[in-house]
Amino acid sequence: MIPDAWDIELREGAIGVARHLIETGCVRYDPDHLCRHGSGLVSPVHLEGRRLFSYPAVRDEVLDFALRMIEQEIGDGELDAIAAAEGAGVPWAALIADRMELPLVFVRKEAPEGQQDYKHRIEGRVEPGWRMLLVEQIAADGHRKARFAQPLKEAGCDVRDLFVLFQYGIFDEIQEHLAPLGITMHALATWWDVLEVANRGHYLDRKAQGEIHAFLHDPKRWTAEHQGSRKSEKAA
Give the pTM: 0.88
Residue 137 assigned ligand-binding role: yes
Q: Is 142 annotated as a binding residue?
A: yes
- The pLDDT tens digits of the residues spanning 46-69 come to 899 999 999 999 999 999 999 999
pLDDT of residue 169 exceeding 90: no
What are the pLDDT digits (tens) for 170-211? 665 666 667 777 888 899 999 899 989 988 888 888 888 888
**39 φ, ψ to 5°?**
-75, -10
- Residue 175 annotated as binding? no
Q: Is 138 annotated as a binding residue?
A: yes
Q: Is 213 annotated as a binding residue?
A: no
- Which string of DSSP letters, residue by residue, matches 59-91? HHHHHHHHHHHHHHHT-TT--SEEEEESSTTHH
136 labelled ligand-binding: yes
pLDDT at 159 exceeding the cut of 60: yes
Is residue 141 marked as binding? yes
* 116 is annotated as contributing to ligand binding: no
Which has the closest alpha carbon to 185: 231, 223, 229, 135? 135
* CB proximity list for 228: less than 8 A, separation 6 or greater: none
